[in-house]
Each structure stands twice: as C-alpha cells, then as structure tokens.
Amino acid sequence: MATRNKDIQQKTEELITVEESKAPAQQPLAIPTDNPVAYPLELPQGEARLRTPAVGQRARRPDGRLHGLGQTQYIDDITFPHMLHAKILRSKYPHARIVSIDTSEAEKMPGVMATLTGAEIPENSFGPTYQDQPVLAYPIARHCGDGVAAVAATSEQLATEALEKIKVEYEPLPAVFDPLEALEKDSPKVHGGDTNIYTSKVIKKGDVEKALKESEHVFHRQFRTQMVEHVPLEPHASIASWDGNGRVTLWTSLGRITLGREDLSRTLKMPQSKIRLIGTVVGGNFGGKNEITTEPVLALLSKKSRRPVKLVFTRGDEFISSTIRHPFVMDYTTGVNNDGKILARKIRLVLDGGSYCSWTGTTIGKGSILAPGPYDIENVLVEAFAVYTNKTTTGAMRGFGAPQVCFAYESQMDDIAHKLGLDPLEIRLRNGFSENSLSPTSQTLQSVALKESLAQAAERFGWKENQA
Amino acid sequence: MRTLDYIAPESAAAAVALLAEHGEKACPLAGGTDLVVDLKHSPGNIHVLVDVSGLEEFRGIEETDEGLRIGSMVTYAEIMENSICLEKVPEVVAASHTVGAVQTRNLGTIGGNLVTCVPSADSAPALMVLDAEVTVTGADGERRMPIEEFFVGPRKTILEPHELLVDILIPKKNLGKPSSFYKFGLRKGQALALVNVAAALELKSGKIHEPRIALGAVAPTPIRILEAEALLAGKKPSIKNIEEAARIAVTESKPIDDFRASASYRRQLIQTLTQRVLSRSLEIATAS
Amino acid sequence: MLVELKVNGEPKSADVPPETTLLKMLREYLNLTGAKLGCDVGDCGTCTVIVNGVSVNSCLMLAARANGHEVTTIEGLANSNELHPLQEKFEEHGALQCGFCGPGMLISAKNLLDKNPDPTVFEVRDALSGNLCRCTGYTKIIEAVIDAGRVMNTEQANS
C-alpha cells in the first residue's frame, strides 16, 4: 500500500502478513462439452503484423471472425431488463399545421408506459448545418415521414396499436413536391418566408457568356436524377436508458457520435457530460446514419418511463423517414468547337432539398465543384440552389452530389460526340484533366492519371475493336 | 403482428370444419409467404389461422391413370426436385424455379400460388396450357373444374370461405406435351412478373395440334388466348402465323401502367415473349 | 402456446403468443440473435435459417409451425474446435463488410453445399438469390462459397 506518509506505510506493511496459499496447484479449465453455443477460442491469426514490411501482405479484417460466427452485436441484438419498445406516429399530410394532439386514449392502454409529442421537446431543433429540423414536428409537419408523436410500450405490437389511438387534428397546408415548382415565387413555402431556396453556391471562372458566343456549337439539355434510398440492411436502431445519476446512455446505429452528442445536448438541454453515446458495429451506413433520428425521442420516453426504450425502424420507415439522396435537376449548356474542345460550360443545378437541410450544405458544395466534370474548361459558371420541398429529408449518401452531376456531364459528352461524329473516347481524351490542370475552382491538380486510365481501360475491353 | 390464433388440424375434414365455424375470421395457412406478409401489414378481420400445409390429403406428387396429380401443399422446391415432374411437366418445374428465391420456394406452395390468385401468379400459365384441372373440397363436398374456372379476379378465386384447394391434375394426354414457359421480371430473382407466358402444342403430320397459349400479369386473372389458339390449330407452323398469334395475344391482353412498367412496354413484351414460347414449343415438338 | 423444437441439436422450448414468428422466437425468447430482422417480409434473407434441412425465411414462418422440427442457425455452424469451412473461407476471402447479411448468407450457402458440394458460379448465385448484401457486391462471397465447397469435397473424399 503506497502513501506519502512513510510512517503510516511502514506501520501498515508490518501489520500485513502474507500467508502461503493453501490452494491446490492450478488446474486447466475444463470446457463443458455440452455448451450449446460453441465456437473455437483461439484468436484469429494476424500474420501480416508479424512481418516487416506489412504492406503488400494479405490481411484479415478484424471483424471477420465475429461476423462469421454471427456474434457481432448490432443494436437490435441488445436487450435490457424491463426494456420498452417505441413507435413513432408520422404525419398524415405532407404539409400541415398540427392543431391538437390527444394521447390520452393511448396512455390508458395497459402496457403503454409513456407518450411524447413535439411540444414536450426542450429544444425542438437540430441539424448538421442549419438547425431547421424538429425532433418531433410541432407545430408544422413538413413531410409524411415527419414524426408527430411517439409511444413507448411493453411490446412492439402494443406500441403500434397505441399509435392508432393517438388523435391528431391537422390543418392541411398547400404542399410543393417538384423542385422547379419550389423555385417559383408563388409556390407554397415549406419553412415560411418568401423563398424555398435555403442554400446556394456560385462558381465562376473566366467569361462563360462570351465563350459561348464564340463556340461553334452550343449544346443544351436538362437532366434529372431520382431519389435513392441507402437501404442499409440493418435498419436504424437506438436504445436509451437513464441511470440514477441523471445520466442518459444511448446505444445507437448512428455513425457520427460526437455530433450526435452535441445534438442530444442541444435538444435535451443537458450538458454533454451527462450524455453518453455508444455507437457499435453498424449494419451498413452509406451516409444515411450520419445524424440523429429518434435518439432524443427515446431519451425522453426513457426519462418519463424510467425504463430503457428501444426503437428499430421498419423498412417502411427507412424509405419515408430516413434521409435519401438529393434528386438533382441539372441544366447544362456547353459550348464546343468542331474538334470537340469544350470552350465553356454553364450549369444550373437545382437540388431537391427535401423538408429539412440535413447534409445539403456538403452536397451542394461538392456537386457544384464537380459539376463541370474532369475536363479542362476555361470558362465555367455553376449556379446551384437547394430548395425545400414537402418530401423526405435529403441528406448524405455516398458521393454527396458527385453521382448526379456525373450522369449529366457524361451523358452530354456522349451527346456532343454523337452530334459531331467523334469517338466518345476521343472527345474525353481531348478534354480530360492532365497533370497540373486547374479544377473549376482553380485548384492545381496533381497525380492526375485520367487519360492513362481511360486509355488502359479502353484497351482492356477492346474499345477500338468494338467501334470498328 | 396482431394477435392471432393458430390451429393445426389433423385432417382436411377438420380443417374445413374449422373454416366453416370461424367464417370470415379464419383463413387457411399454407407456406405463408404471401399471407404472413399481409397479416403483418394490413389491418383486417383474420384472427384464426388454420394450418393446412402438412395435411396428407393435400400433399404428394404421383402419376395415376388420370394423369399427374400434384397436391396443393407441395412446395415449389419439391416440384423442382421431383423426377416425375422434371420428366413429364418440365415447364411447370421451370415456372416454379422463377418464383422468389430458394427460401420462398422451400416454404411456398403451388396451391398457395393459385389461391392467392394475383394476376402475375407464375404457376398459372404453365398449368393452364396443359389443361390442368383443380379439385376443391369444402363443407358441400368435393368438386373438380378446369383451372381457368378457378380464377375469378385479382386475389379472388371461386373458393368459398370454408373451401380448400386439394390438388392439381394434369391430364395424362398432356404429360410430355411440348411446352415452354417464360417469365419476364425486372430482376432474374425475387421479382414479380411484368409478363409471364406459356405455350404448349403438338405437331401431327406437320400441322399444329391442340395449341395452347396462356398469359399472366396482363389481365385481372391469368388468361388463355383462345383466338390465337384457334388461328394456329390445324395450320402448318410459320413465322407469319406465330407473329400473328402473338399480335392477337397483345390485343386480347389488358396490361396496365404501374411503377414497374408502362402498358406499352408490356405490350411489346407480350409480342416478343409469346413468339418466343411458341417457337420454343415448336422446336421441342419437331425434335421429338 | 408452447413451442418445442431442436435448435442446433439442442432441445429448446418457449411459451410464445401464437402469432410469433420463428425469427422472433429465436431472437427474443431463445437469445439467438444471429438471425436478423432486415425487412420482415421475406425479401432480404437476413432471417434465413434451416428448418428440417431446407433454408427458409424465419420471418415468414410462424414459430408454431416449427414445433417439433429441427432448426439450424448460424450459432450452430462452428464447434468448440473449429469453424465451419464456410466461416473459414468467408474470413479468408474478406467476404463480409458490415456483416449484417452474414448469418443469412452463410446459412443459405451451407444449405447449398450440403446438397450440391460442387456448384457452378450460376448455381451459387441462384442459391444466394434470396440473400441481399448492400456492401460487398457479392463477388467475394461467391468466391468464398466455391472455395468452401472444394474444402468440404476434399474433407468428404478423405473421410
């Protein structure tokens, strides 16, 4: 026993007498042979780490062993004693004022332990860029996936039945679904005010109007992409639980847990030191699990009921309530010469920004910068707008705006090649980035292998032979 | 899932009695690949499930004097592995293979497919072109009918609430009849048919004998194209009359626009696929 | 109602509401959380288990219907000494990423190899067509299944 007071230490050490252990010599542990869930206990081999250099060696994924055994614990695999199940009632209308919510019938049902509505959320707004999204919609619901009330009950089935007993009085409001319509002056305004545009970006390089006038051909086309849902195989799932110290713990499929904790601190009006967020292995994210969904709801239901509360999205919830990829409406005007050299590109991007901002800021930024394509173009104008619509919130999804614009600029390259009678590969080689090319934002690009890659790929799949 | 009662009766008679007793509140459970999904997602009146999937009277595949009898509770997987079916009704096997995926086929039954009676039921066209007959049992006893009479409308058969499908019989003369089935879906597996089509015919002295053409997913129920069959009967096969038969199939069909495909695309499919199954049947007929 | 069955060779039972699916019984009453809930309508295959020798979507099968039957789940593939060749090969080939499709995929693959130890690539694709994967693109999964089949063939030949 160590202490600063040497006298006390000496005295204590004198008092302690160590006796020889009389226990029998260590026996090896006998593993029962009738263990119903058996698996080998030797650790997976990590040979690569033993070798120097490890680069180039075959490595095993550290999670492979548990995945293969089915032992990986996803949130839905976790249960706690007395755990309740929550369900969320979603808005009946794509745009409506909530006049009243009556949860009394639901509360009377045996087994229903707590209900929650938007009015009860301490700070009912969150979001990675703008905090324009409510935890539970109140007083306005802005899309059919917007939650308006929640229940926690002793079983999922009971919770589902309890939702049917919640009476919500809505005053339907005019709604807007098409992003171009949302741009118009007299369109319904999803978040009030006099415009649905909530973020925009402009990238300007050179003089696009002048260069278009000087081009031998000008191509114009409008391209549209559709919504895409991530469909992670594991639905969103969370569990909330409070302890006697007034601290809430959440186990969640959320990817960005530090951001999530900030959001919880904000919405629950609690210091971060009282909030613990545990993210575990996730069954697929792809961008859709980058922000909180029901965590504050579960925290409050758990607080009210004094029991752990779990919610797992149904597959239907995944489609209407979790975030999706932004549909883009893209107008491309491109000026080229007879030899296929692009002189100017003017682009208007309209992002269908859904009902709330989510990760649109990143999407519009990335989409705008990549919109002209990997081509040397001296005169560029990109004007991008994200508009609110009364549809599912559009958020982060692998690519973040890149796939949409790629569809547009590559389709147009083919159009141009076809019209001018040029080889589609040739026109790309003629315009493509090289070492030290400037990006649309005038960044000098290095380690550019675009043309070499195209040429190699073309050779490998016999492009020239096919064209003949 | 809402609260349900589950009963596994020991005999077909007991099952019929239970269904008669509970009326609209009960329904028979076969493989459950459609029914269980419905029960989970649609509100409804069903509170009692009567499990008929294991009843002996509805099981088994055997060749009798009358033809090939397939019990209604035989699964698609069992049909695919059965040597008699592979030899005598290969296109019914082919149709079974296009349903869902391995797991669906291990649970799903051919009888369940017919009783659920969606327009795109995959087993129906293949059975219809072989002049299949179905046997039904209920509180009023047993009756048999041509399979076309079994289908009334989307998700509606002639079954009364207390009645059950017993088996399907393919007449002896049609066993081994040259036949072809084709299903077109948006994917090769786990997909509903946009159009499914089957044909069967024989060649006698170089002329088409007893042609049959059936289409699914293009009308409220699977349908036979009688006018096209009449066109081909007794004629020498030619590209011209195959194309004409397919054209008739297009005009006799009523495909719809939905999120999977437009009606006009479906009409193109009907034209091409009807020609394909007719050609294939002729190939088999010529070779044999 | 009381449902009694054998899971991975062990007798198990639970008193469950009649409408309980086999999946729910395995996960919530028997604590065998290997089989997953991905869609609940028999499309994604994450709930796949083997009942009486055939692979089924346990989210579509009522537990009551499994009464008296034998069920194999992912938890039953390995034993105290070694992994199943499929588990070994999936690990070696890096076939799984997030792992959520893993239990269902492995069970479907086992069902295939038990019946057809030397499948063609087409047969593997057909056998796995009821198991969706959102992460991998399936290539390594198929390679692992074929490789495992070879191992199992050799083991059988040697035994």
- Residue ranges of the domains in chain A? 83-172, 179-228+324-467, 237-316
A237-316: CATH, from 3.30.420.40, 3.30.365.10, 2.40.110.10, 3.40.1110.10: 3.30.365.10
Q: What are phi and psi of B200, to 5 degrees?
A: -150, 145
CB contact under 8 Å between A70 and C34, yes or no, is yes
Percentage of chain B lying above the pLDDT 70 cut? 100
Query: What does DSSP assign to residue A206?
Result: S
Residue A51: the pLDDT is 65
- Of the candidates A234, A199, A180, A178, the one whose C-alpha atom is nearest the C-alpha of residue A390 is A178
Q: Which domains does chain B carry?
A: 5-51 (3.30.43.10), 56-174 (3.30.465.10), 179-287 (3.30.390.50)
Domains A83-172 and A179-228+324-467 share a fold: no
Which sign does the torsion angle of CA A442, A443, A449, A454 carry?
negative
Domain A83-172 architecture: Alpha-Beta Complex (3.90)
How far apart (Å, rounded) are the C-alpha atoms in residues B214 and B212? 7
Q: Is B75 helix (H, G, I), strand (E, B) or coil?
A: strand
**Contacts with B1 from chain A: Cβ below 8 Å:** 157
Chains near C with 3+ CB pairs less than 8 A apart are A, B
What pLDDT is attached to residue A54? 72
Residue the block writes with tokens 């592995």 = B81
Comparing C-alpha atoms, which of C44, C1, C3 is closest to residue C22? Answer: C3
Retrieve residue B281's tokens. Answer: 């049947």
A with C: how many residue pairs have Cβ under 8 Å apart?
A: 121
Q: Which CATH number fits domain A179-228+324-467: 3.10.580.10, 3.50.30.50, 3.90.1200.10, 3.30.365.10?
A: 3.30.365.10
d(CA A143, CA A151) in angstroms, rounded, equals 20
- CB A253, CB A238: distance < 8 Å: yes
Which of B4, B8, B40 shows the shortest C-beta gap to C40? Answer: B40
What pLDDT was estimated at residue A11?
A: 77
Q: Long-range pairs for A133-138 at CB < 8 Å and ≥24 separation?
A: A133/A356, A133/A357, A133/A358, A133/A393, A135/A267, A135/A296, A135/A297, A136/A88, A136/A297, A137/A91, A137/A98, A138/A98
Asked if A344 contacts A379 with a C-beta cutoff of 8 angstroms, the reply is yes
B239-252 and B263-287 helices cross at what angle (nearest 10)?
A: 140
Question: Tell me, what amino acid is at B111?
Answer: G
Q: In what order do the strands lie in the sheet with A217-224?
A: A197-205, A379-387, A342-352, A328-336, A217-224
A312 vs C contacts (CB less than 8 Å): 37
CA-based torsion, A452, A456, A458, A464: positive or negative? positive
- Which parts of chain B register pLDDT below 50? none
- Return per-residue pLDDT of chain A as tens, 468 residues: 566 778 877 777 777 777 776 766 666 556 555 555 678 877 666 666 666 677 777 788 989 999 999 999 999 999 999 999 999 999 999 999 999 999 999 999 999 999 999 999 999 999 998 999 999 999 999 999 999 999 999 999 999 999 999 999 999 999 999 999 999 999 999 999 999 999 999 999 999 999 999 999 999 999 999 999 999 999 999 999 999 999 999 999 999 999 999 999 999 999 999 999 999 889 999 999 999 999 999 999 999 999 999 999 999 999 999 999 999 999 999 999 999 999 999 999 999 999 999 999 999 999 999 999 999 999 999 999 999 999 999 999 999 999 999 999 999 999 999 999 999 999 999 999 999 999 999 999 999 999 999 999 999 989 988 776
Q: Is the peptide bond before A40 cis (omega within 30 degrees of 0)?
A: no
**φ, ψ at B144 (rounded to 5°):** -125, 150
Q: Compute the radius of gyration of chain C from its Cα atoms.
A: 15
Which one, of B81, B98, B87, lies nearest residue B196 by Cα? B98
pLDDT for position C159: 67
Q: What is the pLDDT of residue C102?
A: 98
Count chain A–chain B contacts defined by CB atoms under 8 A. Answer: 4
Q: Which domains does chain C have, with CATH numbers?
A: 2-76 (3.10.20.30), 85-158 (1.10.150.120)
Q: Identify the closest residue of chain B to A155 by CA–CA distance.
A: B1
Distance CA C126, CA C120 (A): 10
DSSP A439-462: PTT-PBP-S--HHHHHHHHHHHTT
End-to-end CA distance of chain C: 44
Mutate to test the interface with A, among C7, C19, C134 (most CBs of A within 10 A): C134
Pairing of strands B133-138, B141-146: antiparallel
Whole-structure pTM value: 0.92
How, if at all, do strands A309-312 and A84-90 pair? parallel
The reply to whether residue B103 touches residue C64, judged by beta carbons under 8 angstroms, is no
- The whole-number pLDDT of residue A12 equals 76
What does the pLDDT read at residue A31?
55
Mean pLDDT, residues C137-145: 97
How open is the CA angle B144-B150-B151, to the nearest 5 degrees? 175
The secondary structure element, H or E, covering residue B144 is: strand B141-146
Q: In what order do the strands lie in the sheet with A140-141?
A: A140-141, A96-102, A167-172
User: Considering only CB atoms, which chain A residues are within 8 Å of B2?
Assistant: 157, 161
Contacts of C50 in chain B (CB under 8 A): none
